[in-house]
Amino acid sequence: MILRDKPSPLDLAFALKGSIVPAVVRPVAVVAVAATLLTGLGLRFEVLPVVDPVAVTVFGLALSLFLGFRNNAAYERWWEARKLWGGLLADLRMLAREAELFIADPVLRAAVLRDALAFAHLHRARLREIAADPEALRHAPDLAGTPNPPCAALDRLTARLAAAHRDDGLDGFGARALSQRLAAITLAQAGNERIAGTPLPFVYSLLIYRTIYIYCLLLPVALFAAAGWLTPVIVAIVAYVFLGLAEVSEEMSHPFGTAPNALPLDAICRAMEISLAPHLGEAAPEPLAPVEYLLS
């Protein structure tokens, strides 16, 4: 995630970190070259028909509405994922407090909280499709090879609580409260897996990119008679806007990735470690800081 203040005019002109420019510079250049060739054909050789710009304007309006719909859908996925991870952070903090209330054995309490931290890192690594994440291996090296490592961590945590309940180390009210907390964690896990496993339909991407390129190739035909050799510049700006919006929605629709505008899952997991450290009797680690405005 990019963290920076309101950009200055200089930043607006030259900032690349978090910008969509690197992703669209090549397709925009291709569109600009094609617009230059079409403008040359229209002005020098007069082989292009003169099209009423109103027709292309209506086309552009429909494209804008479709792009807006896709951006809203992508942002909704991103924001839901952020709320789910915020809920996980709150649930782990509550789990630590409930463990203090209901689990008298400090060894069992520490084991439960370490399993919870292991779950968080394993869940993050699984969502990001990282096979050998260093933090996940540090917290649970024995669970990395299981079919679903986050579930394995929660299963082990549940087994500890069940054994304590059977041995009268955890009363019924405490067992019920902790099981409800684990249920909330499991629901958030399932929500994240649903987002990760159900991308926006491919047909949306296919349709939007095809339509953008068709529109950008039709635009010179409608503009060359009025704009002359400024036509490629105008077309390049329009292509930057439309292709940029399409790339932004593509990036936002994958909130668990490592792109600059993805969720800062590393920082959220570090916040969990900081919150649970006092309950484990350990010194809290430092919060993760942005590196060149990027918080991972």
pLDDT in tens, 83-101: 999 999 999 999 999 999 9
Judged by average pLDDT, the poorest of 4-13, 57-66, 184-193, 244-253 is: 4-13
User: Is pLDDT above 90 for 274?
Assistant: yes
Residue 95 domain flag: yes
The domain containing residue 172 runs over which residues?
A: 77-200+264-281
Residue 111 domain flag: yes
> What's the whole-number average pLDDT of the chain?
91
Question: What pTM, to 2 d.p., does this model score?
Answer: 0.91
Q: Per the structure, how many domains does the chain have?
A: 1
Residue 234 domain flag: no
pLDDT in tens, 134-149: 999 998 999 988 999 9
Average pLDDT over residues 202-225: 89
- Is residue 269 within 8 A of residue 120, CB to CB? The reply is yes
Q: Which DSSP helix (H) or strand (E) runs through 39?
A: helix 21-43
- Is residue 255 within 8 A of residue 70, CB to CB? The reply is no
Residue 214 domain flag: no
pLDDT of residue 52: 73
CA distance 286 to 291: 14
Reading the block at residue 229, the tokens are 């050799």
Residue 114 domain flag: yes
Residue 56 domain flag: no
- Is residue 211 within 8 A of residue 36, CB to CB? The reply is no
Average pLDDT over residues 139-168: 94
Residue 258 domain flag: no
DSSP string, 85-119: HHHHHHHHHHHHHHHHHH---HHHHHHHHHHHHHH
pLDDT of residue 5: 76
DSSP string, 143-175: TTTSSSHHHHHHHHHHHHHHHHHHTTSS-HHHH
Q: Encode burial over 185-208: b for 16+ CB neighbours within 10 A, e otherwise.
A: bbebbebbbebbeeebeeebbeeb
CA distance 136 to 119: 8
Confidence band of 13 (pLDDT split at 50, 70, 90): low
Residue 90 domain flag: yes
